[in-house]
Amino acid sequence: MARIKERENYRLRLKAVGLRHTLPRERILAYLDRKNVHPTPEELYQALKKKGFAIGLSTVYLNLQVLRDAGLLWEFKDQKGNTRYDGFTERHHHLFCLQCGRIEDVLPRDLPEFEAEPVRKAIEGRNGWFVEDARLEMRGVCPACQ
Amino acid sequence: MARIKERENYRLRLKAVGLRHTLPRERILAYLDRKNVHPTPEELYQALKKKGFAIGLSTVYLNLQVLRDAGLLWEFKDQKGNTRYDGFTERHHHLFCLQCGRIEDVLPRDLPEFEAEPVRKAIEGRNGWFVEDARLEMRGVCPACQ
DNA sequence: ATCATTGCAAACTGTTTGCATCAAG
DNA sequence: CTTGATGCAAACAGTTTGCAATGAT
């Protein structure tokens, strides 16, 4: 029942952006539908296989891009340059652990000390750029590694 | 004369970090010794060849890493995931142009609207991380592209 | 029935490595 | 003279593409 509702949820989310509902897409979205999960394509592929799902690596690559283009996923590079995907698409910042590679999300509302607006305005006024997005990248050591 | 002084300058900078002075290293450093230059290894290789310098691509790759490890260069990824190098090693932010790919440096002192310290403190207090570095990544459209 | 999607295998691109030669100290 | 650096060619890893089979609408 909950299973059926979930599936309906993915069907709707995909339809909303003009994409067909397929099993690979549902599984990719479902896997990324948690916070602080930021796998590489290979990691995601392995994780889905481990769950017993048959899926091709190129399908994973392809759909990560399709879903990213549709705005359903975020893509970014970690400090080693690996491509990572994030199912959490609200604007947010990232904390990178230099020790273990862990990546933690930080929501703007959880970091009132940083205000994007004044920064955007300042850059637009002084540098003449149009600034679409100002994001923080923080490097350090996570609690577990200290 | 100025040429000799320059060479001496590179010799000293390299010696200071325990590296031998070689022609490839001097040329790589010299090329990156300007602001707002952020080439990929391939671009740097082509640029040096165009200047008539004989150099191997693997030497470029190798030395970019050696110099980066020595702290003489900065390495980062652009929005397309290409590895880029920056001879300007003071902490600073980057502006990425979504249109033409241009990358502009923004010095902390030119952006007083962003204060790294309160942000670091906040993350350390609330998330329990040790934060070594908080950098801004801004995406937008540069003046030339508007 | 139609057309998008899948997934294998092959191709491609950026990067690294092995190794013989060469140059710096 | 000794040791590290160079640079070619070969290997490698992550990603993309061609294409026939499959699945969604």
Please give the nucleotide, over all strands, whose C1' is closest to the CA of residue A21: D24
* Whether residue B6 has pLDDT greater than 90: no
Find tokens 């000390």 and name the residue: A113
Which of B126, B115, B119, B81 lies closest to B101 in space, CA to CA?
Answer: B81
What's the rounded Cα separation, in Å, for the pair B124 and B52? 50
Give the integer Cα–Cα distance in Å for A141 and B115. Answer: 20
Kindly provide the residue ranges of all beta strands, DSSP E only, lying in B7-91, ordered along the sequence: 74-77, 83-86
Distance from CA of B98 to the nearest CA of A (A): 9
State yes or no: pLDDT of B128 exceeds 70: yes
| Banded model confidence at residue A47, pLDDT cuts 50, 70, 90 | very high
How far apart, in whole angstroms, are the C-alpha atoms of residue A75 and residue A66?
11
Which site among B36, B75, B98, B123 would you substitute to test the A interface, given the most A Cβ atoms closer than 10 Å to its Cβ?
Answer: B123
Nucleotides of C under 7 A from a protein CB: 4-10, 14-18, 23-25
Question: What pLDDT is stored for residue A139 in this prediction?
Answer: 96
Task: Tell me if A142 and B129 make a contact (CB, 8 A cut-off).
Answer: yes
Contacts of A119 in chain B (CB under 8 A): 111, 113-114, 136, 138
Rounded mean pLDDT, B14-43: 97
Nearest to A131 among B83, B122, B138 (CB): B138
Q: Answer whether A139 sits within 8 Å of B130, measured CB to CB.
A: no
Is the CB of residue A45 inside 7 Å of nucleic acid strand C? no
Between chains, do B139 and A127 touch, taking CB under 8 Å as contact? no
Domains of chain B: 1-89 (1.10.10.10), 93-146 (3.30.1490.190)
- Taken as a whole, chain B contains a residue count of 146
In this complex, the nucleotide whose C1' atom is nearest to the CA atom of residue B77 is: C14
What residue of A is the nearest CA neighbor of B119? A113
Q: Residue A6: what pLDDT?
A: 77
Q: What is the mean pLDDT of residues A20-40?
A: 96
Q: Running DSSP on this structure, what letter comes out for residue A144?
A: G
Q: pLDDT by residue (tens digit) across A97-142?
A: 999 999 999 999 999 999 999 999 999 999 999 999 999 999 999 9
Residue A94 burial by Cβ neighbours in a 10 Å radius (0-12, 13-18, 19+): buried
Q: Give percent above pLDDT 90 in chain B.
A: 92
d(CA B21, CA B40): 22
Identify the residues numbered 83 to 122 in chain B whose C-beta atom is closer than 7 Å to any atom of strand C: 83
B25 CA to D6 C1' in angstroms comes to 11
